[in-house]
Chains A and B, each alone.
Chain A
Amino acid sequence: MPHLPREIDFFGVLLPGVLPVFLLSVGVHIVLDSALGSLGVYRRSWHPALVRLCLFTCVFSALLIALYR
Chain B
Amino acid sequence: MNPLPAAPSSPDHSAAGKAWRWLLNETAGWLNSEGERWIFVARAMLASFSALWLAFRLGLDAPYTALATTVILAMPSSGMVLEKAFYRFLGTLVGCAAALALVGLFPQSAPPLFVGLVLWVALCTGGAAMHRNQQSYSFVLAGYTAVMIAVPAIDAPVNVFNLAVTRVTEVGLGIICSAVVHDLVFPRPHARAVMRTVQARYAGFIVFCRAVLAHRITPEQAELHHLRYAADIAALESGRAAAFFEAGHSRWHTRQLHAFNAAFMTALTTFYTLHRLSHRLRQDGASPMPSLLEPMYAHLARALEAELTPARLAQMRTELAADIASARAQLAQKPGVAREQQIGFDTATELLERFAANLADFAGLYHGLTQQRRQQVSDPGAYSPKTPPAIIAASGFRAAVTLLATAGAWYWLAWPYMTNAVLMATIFCALASSSPRPTALIQQVLTGFIAGMPLAFATEFLLVAKADNFYPLVLAALPLFALGAYLASAPRTGGIGIGLGMFSATLLVPANLMRYDVESFLSSELSLTLGVAVAYLMFKVVLPEHTMGHRGHVAAALWREAQHACTASLPRLKRRYDNRVRDLLSQLNAAAGPAPDAVTRAVVRQGLTLLELGHAVIELRQLIAAAHAGEARAALQAVQDHLAGYLHAPSHSGGDAALRAILQAGVAVRAALPDAPPERRARLRTALADLHAIYTSLLDQLSTGELHRAPSAP
Contact = CB atoms under 8 A, between A and B. Distances in A.
A37 B183 CA distance: 16
B500 to A, nearest CB: 29
B553 to A, nearest CB: 39
Nearest to B248: A42
A53 B183 contact: yes
B184 A49 contact: yes
Interface string B125-163: 000000000000000000000000000000000000110
Contacts of A17: none
Contacts of B78: 49
A5 interface: no
A42 B78 CA distance: 15
Contacts of B247: 33, 37, 42, 48-49, 51-52
B252 A12 contact: no
A50 B180 CA distance: 9
Contacts of B187: 49
Contact of A37 (B161, B189, B248): B248
Interface string B229-268: 0000000000000000011111110000000000000000
A3 interface: no
A15 B162 CA distance: 11
Interface residues of A, number: 19
B115 interface: no
Contacts of B252: 38
Contacts of A50: 184
A38 B250 contact: yes
B248 A13 contact: no
A13 B163 CA distance: 10
B178 to A, nearest CB: 13
A11 B161 contact: yes
> What's the interface size class on B, roughly?
10 to 19
B599 interface: no
A40 to B, nearest CB: 7
Given A10-B165, A12-B161, A13-B162, A38 B251 contact: yes
Contacts of B184: 47, 49-50, 53
A11 B599 CA distance: 59
Contacts of B161: 11-13
Nearest to B187: A49
Nearest to A35: B250
B64 to A, nearest CB: 20
Contacts of A43: 248, 372
A13 to B, nearest CB: 5
Contacts, number: 43
Contacts of B165: 10, 13, 15
B28 to A, nearest CB: 21
A55 to B, nearest CB: 9
B248 A48 contact: yes
A20 B247 CA distance: 24
Contacts of A42: 247-248
B180 A37 contact: no
A50 B252 CA distance: 22
A37 B245 CA distance: 11
B372 to A, nearest CB: 8
B486 to A, nearest CB: 24
Nearest to B169: A15
Nearest to A41: B248
B183 A49 contact: yes
Centre residue among B180, B183, B187, B250 by max chain A CB count within 10 A: B250
Contacts of B250: 34, 37-38, 40
A69 to B, nearest CB: 24
Contacts of A10: 165
B368 to A, nearest CB: 15
A48 B180 contact: no
Nearest to B78: A49
Contacts of B246: 48-49
Contacts of B189: 48-49
Interface in A1-28: 10-13, 15
Interface string B50-86: 0000000000000000000000000000100000000
A60 B472 CA distance: 34
Centre residue among B165, B246, B247, B372 by max chain A CB count within 10 A: B247
A19 B165 CA distance: 13
Interface in B177-215: 180, 183-184, 187, 189
A23 B180 CA distance: 17
Centre residue among B161, B183, B246, B248 by max chain A CB count within 10 A: B248
Given A10-B165, A13-B161, A13-B165, A53 B180 contact: yes
A1 to B, nearest CB: 27
Nearest to B244: A37
Nearest to B58: A16
A17 B162 CA distance: 17
A34 B251 contact: yes
A37 B162 contact: no
Contacts of A40: 248, 250
Contacts of A48: 189, 246-248
A47 B246 CA distance: 11
A4 B247 CA distance: 32
A19 to B, nearest CB: 10
Centre residue among A11, A15, A49, A50 by max chain B CB count within 10 A: A49
A51 B156 CA distance: 46
A47 B183 CA distance: 10
Centre residue among A11, A37, A47, A52 by max chain B CB count within 10 A: A37
A53 B182 CA distance: 12
Given A13-B161, A38-B250, 10 more contacts: A10-B165, A15-B165, A37-B250, A38-B251, A47-B184, A49-B184, A49-B187, A49-B189, A49-B246, A53-B184
24 contacts: A10-B165, A11-B161, A12-B161, A13-B162, A15-B165, A34-B251, A37-B247, A37-B248, A37-B250, A38-B250, A38-B251, A38-B252, A40-B250, A42-B247, A43-B372, A47-B184, A48-B247, A49-B183, A49-B184, A49-B189, A49-B246, A50-B184, A51-B247, A52-B247
Interface of B: 78, 161-162, 165, 180, 183-184, 187, 189, 246-252, 372
The 9 tightest CB contacts between A and B, nearest first, are A42-B248, A48-B247, A49-B183, A52-B247, A38-B250, A37-B250, A48-B248, A13-B165, A42-B247
